[in-house]
Amino acid sequence: MEYITLKNSDLKVSRLCMGGCPMGGYGWGETNEQNFLTAIDTAIANGVNYFDTADTYGLGQSEITLAKGLGNKRKDVVIQSKFGVRILDGKTVYDNSPEYMREALEKSLTRLNTDYVDIYVIHYRDNTPIEEVVDGLKTLQKEGKVRYFGLSNIQKEKMDELLPYKNLFVNFQNEYSLACRKFEEDMQFVSDKLNATPLTWGSLGQGILTGKYDINTKFDSNDRRSREIYVNFHGEKLKKNLEIVEELKKIAAAHGKTVPATAIRFILDNLKDSVVIAGVKSEKQMLSNLDALDWSLSQEELKLLNQISL
């Protein structure tokens, strides 16, 4: 296992973080709780000590399942959860207010069966003044309910308000993979300006980079990838992604690795000192992702993947 220490913290974490979105049991096709629990056990047994979730994943179900899977190992791992997205009158709204922050955290702590989260992440920003948000987070930190703070979905053009808080946030996460390179410059900018560790979500392009799908793939209506907003599985973007997958298959075979592991390895090698968040629905998928650790792509392979994915 590869580990790094998150900036501005004493948290030594695995560079592979188990993502909790599928554990919400919504929007990713058929899921099974026992499969998630087994995947969590497998992750821990293989050195993964970092788990990402959010209160909106299955409206809290992800946190409940994670707590069940961790059991008495909670003190041995790093948990980060997110706040700032809520459902009001059937509509999704963003709310970073200190009042809702506290309400959301208390509910997350109950679901997670713990009295603190290691990292509390602003899921999406709203119009609440950033000073109020930071003050709210610091209050929760003083109370011992939050150890550190993180950011999610932050782009370069929205950075000005955050610049005074360099060295405050331990990490930030954005979508990034061979299928989504559009935030690469933003991620480097945010990393430099805030001195925060970059994390990637959508690291396997919602699954397109696993090599399991082709041009004829169709998803049921209970799978979010059936919607065209998930561009990785539709139109010209799908065709482009499948070209990337063909190259991944060749490189994976040369190293004796899985295709998903090779796609994850690209991120680990191309985005230095980063952590990859990858959600799974089974032990098999977790083992496949674990295959990404403790080796490297050659410079020629990185160059090829860089060229074909831009």
Domain boundaries, the chain: 3-207+271-296
Do 6 and 197 meet the contact criterion of CB atoms below 8 Å apart? yes
Do 196 and 171 meet the contact criterion of CB atoms below 8 Å apart? yes
Type of residue found at 6? L
Q: What is the pLDDT of residue 98?
A: 96
Q: What is the pLDDT of residue 42?
A: 97
Dist. CA 230–CA 214, nearest whole Å = 15
Q: What is the pLDDT of residue 151?
A: 96
Closest CA to 223 of 201, 242, 208, 209: 208
Q: What is the pLDDT of residue 164?
A: 95
Dist. CA 39–CA 290, nearest whole Å = 11
Helix, strand or coil, per DSSP, at residue 282: coil
Neighbours of 298 (CB within 10 A): 12
Dist. CA 260–CA 263, nearest whole Å = 5
Dist. CA 70–CA 85, nearest whole Å = 25
Q: What is the pLDDT of residue 198?
A: 96
Tell me how far CA of residue 228 lies from CA of 13, 235, 237, in angstroms. Answer: 35, 9, 11
Q: Tens of pLDDT along the chain (310 residues)?
A: 999 999 999 999 999 999 998 888 776 777 899 999 999 999 999 999 999 999 999 889 999 999 999 999 999 999 999 999 988 888 889 999 999 999 999 999 999 999 999 999 999 999 999 999 999 999 999 999 999 999 999 888 888 999 999 999 999 999 999 999 999 988 999 999 999 999 999 999 988 999 888 888 888 877 888 888 888 888 898 999 999 999 999 999 999 999 999 999 999 999 989 999 999 999 999 999 999 999 999 999 999 999 999 8
Do 277 and 17 meet the contact criterion of CB atoms below 8 Å apart? yes
Q: What is the pLDDT of residue 264?
A: 97
Superfamily of domain 3-207+271-296: NADP-dependent oxidoreductase domain (3.20.20.100)
Dist. CA 218–CA 223, nearest whole Å = 10
Q: What is the pLDDT of residue 44?
A: 97
